Amino acid sequence: MITDDTIVALSSGTGGAIAVIRMSGEQCAEICDRVVRSAKGRSVATSKGYTMLYGDVVEADGSVIDDAVVAIYKAPHSYTGEDMVEITVHASRYIIRRTIARLVEAGARAATAGEFTARAFLAGRMDLSQAEAVADIIASHDRATHHLASRQMRGGYSDELQGLRGRLLHLAAMLELELDFGEEDVEFADRSELRTLMAEIAEKIESLTSSFALGRAIKEGVGVAIVGRPNAGKSTLLNTLLHDQRAIVSDVAGTTRDVIEEHLDIDGVDFRFIDTAGLHSSNDMLEQMGMERSRKAIEEAHIILALVDGTTLPKSTEEAKNSVLEVLGEIGCGADERCLVVINKCDVAVCDCSAVAEKLDAVLPHPAVTISAKSGVGVDELMQGISAMIDSQRIYTDAVTVSGARHYEALVRAAEALARARENLNIASPEMTARDIREVLDLLGTITGEVTSDQILSEIFSKFCIGK
């Protein structure tokens, strides 16, 4: 991973009129000057950083491939901390291929995945969690994911974790000093201070780990499974939500045989709506397979919309309420915290849907919503209800939200090691306490990259695309 040669890659995405080819490394100026002929006889080598140069990208025989603008960065004031150029050419696949080929002929090497960002990390331009956030910010698809990535990229995690690490480091040093004194009965680390600090850190780690459920949901898209008996109106609801005809609507029970997933942005958060095949007993193989996938989608969903067909409910409010509860029991969505009950077809139902919903409130975790999926009445209220079930606004507070699985795992293991450290302190074993605290320090260090290995780095950066 640690090389000092000069690397090159296309950094801009596909499509568009212009392309940006990036090169980084010591030989950058020299290589660029061999390939780009400046109109005014200037060179990258003699140019200052943060300037631009205009010229032609040329073949070995002097023929012109394209005209180009070269942005010049001088170490350490660049993304990678090395000398860098960004060559802008027209976005023709031929021009891009020839320009990169010419730069390679002139001495550059084709960059591997994530190599520019890896160099930025190794040069100390950013820590590991910030480097990972670069990939997240490029992948961000709504206000919430952008906010999470942007905050992490600006060092949100790092401040929090380095603060914790710094204080623990001091404690570990004190304990280790005691151990150095061996037989002598000295106590440098004040035990009650140690206990207080460890409790405080455990609480901090706990608050970080508990934010992961929300962080992950936002990053992956909040899964909303629409479940209910066949014909309850699941496909119709999905179509109304999306204003198109993605799901197949028909009067024949069991039409939706597969799981259909669609994305919808509500208040800046990406929700993944999953229309599941109706859950009911069936001998049809295809339907059974669809139902199996439905069960899985339900298991993994953050929110379950339990859709009840209002036209199947009796007129009496009390009886209708019991009938809804029966359906909920059947689809396994009774007391589940994730469950939001939706009574559909209220435009034609014989019962008083609102009165039934009101009666249900006493026994349900969230107020039931009444709609007509067909006409769209009540659908806005339903969206508000869905949005309220995910406390997405929490990510905009001062607290840091963990969204990376790697970070979460390190935090969980750190919490375990810290719990052991606290136990060992209680049984007066400074050796074991010191060892456990070291483990906590190492684990926290892997998040920001203060403690790392080639293996961790290549795992992280290989997931990037080339040119990042």
Spatial CB neighbours of 99, under 8 Å, sequence gap ≥ 6: 21, 35, 57, 65, 66, 68, 87, 89
345 near ligand GDP, rule: CB under 6 A: yes
Residues 298-317 that bind ligand GDP (CB under 6 A): none
403 near ligand GDP, rule: CB under 6 A: no
Residue the block writes with tokens 């508000």 = 384
What residues does 22 pair with on adjacent strands?
9, 86
245 near ligand GDP, rule: CB under 6 A: no
152 near ligand GDP, rule: CB under 6 A: no
374 near ligand GDP, rule: CB under 6 A: yes
Complex with ligand GDP: residue 305 or 457, whichever CB lies closer = 305
354 near ligand GDP, rule: CB under 6 A: no
Taking the complex as a whole, how short is the minimal distance between the CB of residue 322 and ligand GDP, in angstroms? 22
Taking the complex as a whole, how short is the minimal distance between the CB of residue 366 and ligand GDP, in angstroms? 20
At 56 the three-state DSSP class reads strand
Taking the complex as a whole, how short is the minimal distance between the CB of residue 455 and ligand GDP, in angstroms? 48
Complex with ligand GDP: residue 254 or 268, whichever CB lies closer = 254
Taking the complex as a whole, how short is the minimal distance between the CB of residue 154 and ligand GDP, in angstroms? 44
The gap between the terminal CA atoms of the chain, to the nearest Å, is 15
CB 169 within 8 A of CB 441: yes
CB under 6 A: which stretch of 189-197, 247-255, 380-388, 447-455 binds ligand GDP? 247-255
Q: Nearest CA to 237 among 221, 225, 223, 220? A: 225
294 near ligand GDP, rule: CB under 6 A: no
Complex with ligand GDP: residue 186 or 248, whichever CB lies closer = 248
Q: Nearest CA to 217 among 441, 39, 78, 408? A: 408
211, 344, 424, 452: residue in contact with ligand GDP (rule CB under 6 A): 344
Taking the complex as a whole, how short is the minimal distance between the CB of residue 332 and ligand GDP, in angstroms? 17
Q: What's at 318, amino acid-wise?
A: E
Taking the complex as a whole, how short is the minimal distance between the CB of residue 304 and ligand GDP, in angstroms? 14
98 near ligand GDP, rule: CB under 6 A: no
Residue the block writes with tokens 């901390």 = 81
Handedness of CA 59, 65, 71, 77 (dihedral sign): negative
CA dist 133 and 153 (Å) reads 5
378 near ligand GDP, rule: CB under 6 A: no
CA dist 267 and 286 (Å) reads 37
Taking the complex as a whole, how short is the minimal distance between the CB of residue 408 and ligand GDP, in angstroms? 36
What residues does 309 pair with on adjacent strands?
344
Complex with ligand GDP: residue 10 or 247, whichever CB lies closer = 247
Residue 455 structure tokens: 């293996």
348, 350, 399, 405: residue in contact with ligand GDP (rule CB under 6 A): 348
Taking the complex as a whole, how short is the minimal distance between the CB of residue 273 and ligand GDP, in angstroms? 12
CB 257 within 8 A of CB 220: no
What residues does 265 pair with on adjacent strands?
270
CA dist 261 and 367 (Å) reads 25
Spatial CB neighbours of 211, under 8 Å, sequence gap ≥ 6: 394, 399, 400, 401, 402
Q: Nearest CA to 87 among 101, 100, 106? A: 100
175, 232, 298, 390: residue in contact with ligand GDP (rule CB under 6 A): 232
Which residue's beta carbon is nearest to the bound ligand GDP?
233
Taking the complex as a whole, how short is the minimal distance between the CB of residue 336 and ligand GDP, in angstroms? 19
233 near ligand GDP, rule: CB under 6 A: yes
Complex with ligand GDP: residue 23 or 386, whichever CB lies closer = 386
CB 310 within 8 A of CB 345: yes
Whether cis (ω within 30° of 0) applies to the bond prior to 365 is no
234 near ligand GDP, rule: CB under 6 A: yes
CA dist 242 and 383 (Å) reads 12
Taking the complex as a whole, how short is the minimal distance between the CB of residue 374 and ligand GDP, in angstroms? 3
**Binding footprint of ligand GDP, residue count (CB under 6 A):** 21
Residues 249-288 that bind ligand GDP (CB under 6 A): 249-251, 255-256, 278
Give me the residues that bind ligand GDP (CB under 6 A), please: 228, 230-236, 249-251, 255-256, 278, 344-345, 347-348, 372-374
